[in-house]
Chain A
Amino acid sequence: MTGWLLLMATGLLATIAVALWRIARGPERADRMMSAQLIGTGGIAIILLLAVAGEDWAMLDVAIVLALLAAVSIIAFAKSVRRVGTGDPEDDDHHD
C-alpha cells in the first residue's frame, strides 16, 4: 500500500513537471498563474497521499494551509491584472 501511494505521488510530481513547462512557455500571464494553480492542487494531492503513506495525519494541516494561501495569492494575482494594482478585474468602467 505504501509503495503504491508513493508511486501515485511520484506520478503527480510528473504532472507537476508538465505544468512547469507551461509557466515557462506562457504566453499570457493568466497561463502562468493557472499552471501555478495546477501545481498547487497537485501538491496538495501529494500531501494527502504522503499523509496516508507515512501515517502522519498532522500533514493534512499543511495541505489546508497551502489551499488557503493559494487562494490569497489568486487575489493578489487578480489585483495585478490592472496597472493600478488596487482595483477589481471585473470592473470595466475604470480603465487605466
Chain B
Amino acid sequence: MIDGLTILLTALGLGFFAVGSLGLVRFPDTASRLHALTKADNLGLGLVALGVALQAPGVVEVIKLVLVWALALFSAGVAAQLIGRVAARRP
C-alpha cells in the first residue's frame, strides 16, 4: 500500500520534471521559460520528497526531506525574482 503510494508519487514527480524540461526547450522566450520551470520542477521535487518520506525510517529523515524541499523552494523563488529582472531588462 505504502509502496504503491511511493511509486505513484515518484512517477508524478518525474512527470512534472519532464514537463518542466519540455517547457525549457519549447517555450519561445526567457520569461515564459522561467515561469514554466520554477513551478514544474519544485512541484516535481515536492512529490518525489513526499514519496520518499513515506519510506523514511524516522522523524529525522522526514525533517531533512522537508528542509531540502524548503531550501529548493526558497531559492527557486528568489532566483525567479532576480533572474526574472535580468531577463526583463536586457542590458
Contacts and interface: CB of A to CB of B under 8 A. Distances in A.
A binds B: yes
B17 A5 contact: no
Interface of A: 1, 4-5, 8, 11-12, 15-16, 18-19, 21-22, 28-31, 33-35, 37-38, 40-42, 44-45, 48-49, 51-52, 57, 60-61, 63-64, 67-68, 70-71, 74, 77-78, 81, 89-90
Majority DSSP secondary structure for residues of B touching A: helix
Q: Kindly name the residue among B17, B61, B72 whose own CB sees the greatest number of chain A CB atoms within 10 A.
A: B17
Interface of B: 3, 6-7, 10-11, 13-14, 17-18, 20-22, 24-25, 30, 33-34, 37, 41-42, 44-45, 48-49, 52, 55-57, 61, 64-65, 67-68, 71-72, 74-76, 78-79, 82-83, 85-87, 90-91
